[in-house]
Amino acid sequence: MAKIGLTISIDVTKIDKTRLFKGKKGVYMDLTTFIDTKNPDQYEQHGFISQSSSKEEREQGIKTPILGNCKVFFDSTASQSSETPVEGPNDPIPSGDDSEDIPF
């Protein structure tokens, strides 16, 4: 099974509260992210997070604000022969034997 570990940071002050919705077990927010594991940006981030938009909004060119960024700290797909950590300062990196403890 392919495993990718991400650290995610968002600015909660940018959340559009009108996009929050009530579910059976709480209040939810749909998010969208695009991740490029091979090409980090100038800040060593691999992707961004924004609130999700509807198909109609996307067709109209309406974009939701970027809430934050994500960084890959572990990528088992980087090498087919073994799980390969993506190095970064202060990032927790699972060791080979501990990777079975990852809950997904």
Under the banding of pLDDT at 50, 70 and 90, the label for residue 42 is very high
Q: What is the pTM of this model?
A: 0.65
The tokens describing 18, both together, are 């009108």
Q: State the DSSP string of the chain.
A: ---EEEEEEE-GGG--GGG-EEETTEEE--EEEEE-SS---TTS--EEEEE---HHHHHTT--PPEEEEEEEEEEGGG-SSS-EEPP-TT-----TTGGGGS--
How many domains does the structure of the chain reveal? 1
Band of pLDDT at residue 76, cut at 50, 70 and 90: confident
Contact present, 77 and 37 (Cβ < 8 Å): yes
Q: Which range among 2-6, 25-29, 97-101 shows the weakest confidence by mean pLDDT? A: 97-101
Q: Which domain holds residue 80?
A: 4-101
Per-residue pLDDT reduced to its tens digit, 6-41: 999 999 999 999 999 999 999 999 999 999 988 999
